[in-house]
Chain A
Amino acid sequence: MSTTAHWTEAFAARGAAGEPAWLAERRAAGMATFAAAGFPTSADEDWHYTSLAPVAGVPFRLGGGAGSTNVADIAPYTLRAEWPAFVLLNGAFSPALSSLDAIPEGVRVLDLARARAELPAVLERWLGKVANGDHAMTALNTGLMTDGVVIVVGRDVVADRPIHVMHVADAGAEMAAALPRVLIVAERHAKATVIESFVGLSDAEYLVNAVTEVVVEDGATLHHLKVQREGVKATHVGTTEVRQARDSHYLNFSFAMGAKLSRTNVYTILDGEGCGTTLNGLYLADGTQHVDHQTRVEHAQPNCFSRELYKGILDGDARAVFNGKVYVHPIAQKTDGKQSNHTLLLSPEARIDTKPQLEIFADDVKCTHGATVGRLDEVGLFYMKSRGVSAEQARKLMTYAFAADVLETIEDETIKAALEELTLERFTR
């Protein structure tokens, strides 16, 4: 396929000096998978409503320019907190923008190159092993991943503050592709919060194809939040794949409000008994934005639960997709799964395609799903107006109220407040 030639050439041209053999092998395998599959289009089942055809033929440079961003430029995107921040600028680790002094004790946060030197066994064990090599975009990332970060939360460590990974694109990202790779390992009985922000500082046209691999070991709890605020002309594909061991808890929240086109994949495997997974999200889109969430929760062991609540608010000609799959293996008895997707349409042109899928092969499970699409409740608006609230303020309050319950699920009060503010701002312009 001709659209892959640009990428296979980039692969051939790259220097792989110093990389271990296992990594070279995994990269080559990834590249081969991508070359065979090509960019996903609406012909692919999982991409029925979202096509990457518009960017398939674009010869994006691999990695952006050095960029001119300084610490003050990214300050408004730190979610108003002074958490340790690992910053990737246009796909490459930026020590100058990062602030890694306050990393909680027992937690390692290393860029990929340093992780290869200091945590070789962790990398070899997990990198490219958690994420599914069959997915074309994941395979492309594996083949060409430019930089990234490895976070290891040690055994029994309870991190007392979140770690913020910021993927920043500035004007230097123009016509460039960033393929960052993140690996998070929460060791036995560890507890931590990791935020990944994707921030566009300019209106450059760029592609982000990010892959995050997550390992949650026995009894560990990981809160993982994604805040997607890419630039207006950006195309964003972000895939998070999670492997959970016995009695672990993984809580993902996806907040999506940026990019021209964005696709967020969250795939988890509950691969031990007594696990819990909570996947929640809020997407806000207007204009001609396209925002797609795809989740897959694989119940591979008995006595696990999963909860999903995705909400969206769409205005203008925006289009959203939600595709949630829950797969229950025959062995996974007593699975308790619940999934819902609710979308509020503020304009007649906005559109959502929602597709819940349950595939259940065990016979003693409790699984439900539901989806609603609605408009602002006229009676509620009238009730507010009848109390003197202006029509505009009533609309804002009702719109915000729609999103309030899903934001309420965020445990960290600072993050919750920051995302509530972003949501309010979005509808009070």
Chain B
Amino acid sequence: MTPILEIKGLTASVDGKEILKGIDLVVGAGEVHAIMGPNGSGKSTLAAVLSGHPAYEVTGGEVTYKGQDLLDMEAEERAQAGVFLAFQYPIEIPGVSNAYFLRSAYNEIRKARGEDEVDPMEFLDLVEEKLKLVEMDPAMLQRSVNTGFSGGEKKRNEILQMAVLNPSLAILDETDSGLDIDALRIVAEGVNKLKRPDNATIVVTHYQRLLNHIVPDYVHVLAQGRIIRSGGKELALELEDKGYDWLLTEAVA
């Protein structure tokens, strides 16, 4: 079976500084992969590069998404093809309502797939159902995108977007950071409910805590721009116990 994502020898830099130094990773349909690692290891860079962030320069390697050359696609083309990045720090856009933004995105994705656009009423029906998934107040739809939202509300809004846009590959970049346990549970349950046999999830996190709620099939440890260890979910528990240092020492040795 063709994997959803296949990364080979990916290197990338920001402002001329090399952050990713050769990443290899295969993500199959129905799988949840956790990427863990200490601060500055390149976790968020990997997430940003996969979603097409303009600040990062890919210097080498290949990324194939559902058989297509992902690196050759613009950020919006990736999204239209089903790649979704949940931001660590969701962006505030004063002046654009959440509902308008989400409907624009939804319709552009439909358009790109040759489907008819939906009108505001149809869209509202669709969104109302998804709101329940993340326990969000419908009033949030009328507010400007993320503007004045609490940390938890921003993260829930990310998952709402994910639920509406229905991606094939969801990348969650430190979605757990800054969340209290209740918010974390809501966000994780939302992600779990969106899991299907034909989509895949990459969870980028610093802490094992999130993985109690979103159980990964594979755990990869990223350090100094490389994956230095891969394993099952038990690897996450080991990391929680021992920290990252023993792996770093081993890698150097």
Q: Which residues of A contact B (CB under 8 A)?
A: 377-380, 382-391, 393-394, 397-398, 400-405
Checking B55, B75, B112 against A386 with a beta-carbon cut-off of 8 angstroms, the contacting residue is B75
1/0 contact trace for B72-90 toward A, CB 8 Å? Answer: 0011101110001101001
Q: Provided the pairs A401-B93, A404-B95 are in contact, do residues A387 and B54 lie with their beta carbons within 8 angstroms?
A: no
Question: Are A385 and B79 interface neighbours, CB within 8 A?
Answer: yes
Determine if B11 is an interface residue (Cβ-Cβ < 8 Å).
no
Docked pose: A386 CA to B95 CA in angstroms? 19
Question: Are A388 and B108 interface neighbours, CB within 8 A?
Answer: yes
The 5 closest A-B pairs by CB, nearest first: A401-B95, A404-B95, A388-B79, A387-B105, A383-B91
Docked pose: A383 CA to B86 CA in angstroms? 10
Question: Are B79 and A387 interface neighbours, CB within 8 A?
Answer: yes
Question: Are B108 and A393 interface neighbours, CB within 8 A?
Answer: yes
Q: Provided the pairs A379-B91, A391-B76, A404-B95 are in contact, do residues A384 and B105 lie with their beta carbons within 8 angstroms?
A: yes
Docked pose: A400 CA to B91 CA in angstroms? 17
What is the minimal beta-carbon distance from A155 to any residue of chain B, in angstroms? 40
Q: Provided the pairs A378-B54, A393-B104, A397-B104 are in contact, do residues A385 and B95 lie with their beta carbons within 8 angstroms?
A: no
Docked pose: A398 CA to B101 CA in angstroms? 11
Docked pose: A46 CA to B205 CA in angstroms? 58
Docked pose: A382 CA to B75 CA in angstroms? 7
The CB with the most chain A CB atoms within 10 A, among B55, B80, B105, B106, is that of: B105
What is the minimal beta-carbon distance from A112 to any residue of chain B, in angstroms? 42
Question: Are B91 and A389 interface neighbours, CB within 8 A?
Answer: no
Docked pose: A390 CA to B77 CA in angstroms? 8
Question: Are B76 and A390 interface neighbours, CB within 8 A?
Answer: yes
Determine if B20 is an interface residue (Cβ-Cβ < 8 Å).
no
Docked pose: A390 CA to B112 CA in angstroms? 10
Q: Provided the pairs A380-B93, A401-B93, A404-B94 are in contact, do residues A386 and B104 lie with their beta carbons within 8 angstroms?
A: no
Question: Are A383 and B93 interface neighbours, CB within 8 A?
Answer: yes
What is the minimal beta-carbon distance from B226 to any residue of chain A, in angstroms? 25
Enumerate chain A residues within 8 angstroms of B95, measured Cβ to Cβ. Answer: 400-405
Enumerate chain B residues within 8 angstroms of A402, measured Cβ to Cβ. Answer: 95
Question: Are B96 and A397 interface neighbours, CB within 8 A?
Answer: yes
Q: Provided the pairs A378-B54, A387-B105, A389-B76 are in contact, do residues A398 and B112 lie with their beta carbons within 8 angstroms?
A: no
Determine if B201 is an interface residue (Cβ-Cβ < 8 Å).
no
Docked pose: A387 CA to B83 CA in angstroms? 9
* Chain B residue at minimum C-beta to C-beta distance from A383: B91
Docked pose: A378 CA to B91 CA in angstroms? 11
What is the minimal beta-carbon distance from B179 to any residue of chain A, in angstroms? 20
Q: Provided the pairs A388-B109, A389-B105 are in contact, do residues A383 and B79 lie with their beta carbons within 8 angstroms?
A: no
Residue contacts A-B, CB under 8 angstroms, 11 given: A378-B54, A385-B76, A385-B79, A386-B51, A386-B87, A387-B102, A388-B80, A388-B165, A391-B74, A391-B76, A397-B101
Docked pose: A404 CA to B95 CA in angstroms? 5
Question: Are B91 and A387 interface neighbours, CB within 8 A?
Answer: no
What is the minimal beta-carbon distance from A10 to any residue of chain B, in angstroms? 47
What is the minimal beta-carbon distance from A340 to any residue of chain B, in angstroms? 14
Q: Which of B84-134 contact A (CB under 8 A)?
A: 84-85, 87, 90-91, 93-96, 101-102, 104-106, 108-109, 112
Q: Provided the pairs A383-B87, A402-B95 are in contact, do residues A390 and B54 lie with their beta carbons within 8 angstroms?
A: no
Docked pose: A391 CA to B73 CA in angstroms? 13
Known: A388-B80, A403-B95, A404-B94. 15 other contacts (CB 8 A): A380-B93, A382-B54, A383-B90, A383-B93, A384-B105, A385-B75, A386-B76, A386-B85, A387-B79, A388-B76, A388-B105, A388-B165, A389-B105, A391-B76, A401-B96
What is the minimal beta-carbon distance from B168 to any residue of chain A, in angstroms? 13
Determine if B161 is an interface residue (Cβ-Cβ < 8 Å).
yes
What is the minimal beta-carbon distance from A400 to any residue of chain B, in angstroms? 7
Determine if B52 is an interface residue (Cβ-Cβ < 8 Å).
yes
The CB with the most chain A CB atoms within 10 A, among B75, B80, B85, B161, is that of: B75
* Chain B residue at minimum C-beta to C-beta distance from A403: B95
Enumerate chain A residues within 8 angstroms of B54, measured Cβ to Cβ. Answer: 378, 382
Docked pose: A98 CA to B87 CA in angstroms? 56
Enumerate chain A residues within 8 angstroms of B52, measured Cβ to Cβ. Answer: 382, 385-386
Determine if B196 is an interface residue (Cβ-Cβ < 8 Å).
no
Docked pose: A384 CA to B112 CA in angstroms? 15
What is the minimal beta-carbon distance from B236 to any residue of chain A, in angstroms? 27
Determine if B8 is an interface residue (Cβ-Cβ < 8 Å).
no
Docked pose: A383 CA to B93 CA in angstroms? 9
What is the minimal beta-carbon distance from B166 to any residue of chain A, in angstroms? 11
What is the minimal beta-carbon distance from A72 to any residue of chain B, in angstroms? 32
What is the minimal beta-carbon distance from B94 to any residue of chain A, in angstroms? 6
What is the minimal beta-carbon distance from A415 to any residue of chain B, in angstroms? 18
What is the minimal beta-carbon distance from A33 to any residue of chain B, in angstroms? 44
Enumerate chain A residues within 8 angstroms of B161, measured Cβ to Cβ. Answer: 387
Docked pose: A384 CA to B98 CA in angstroms? 11
Enumerate chain A residues within 8 angstroms of B229, measured Cβ to Cβ. Answer: none
Q: Which of B39-79 contact A (CB under 8 A)?
A: 51-55, 74-76, 78-79
Question: Are B76 and A401 interface neighbours, CB within 8 A?
Answer: no
Checking A377, A389, A404 against B108 with a beta-carbon cut-off of 8 angstroms, the contacting residue is A389
* Chain B residue at minimum C-beta to C-beta distance from A398: B93
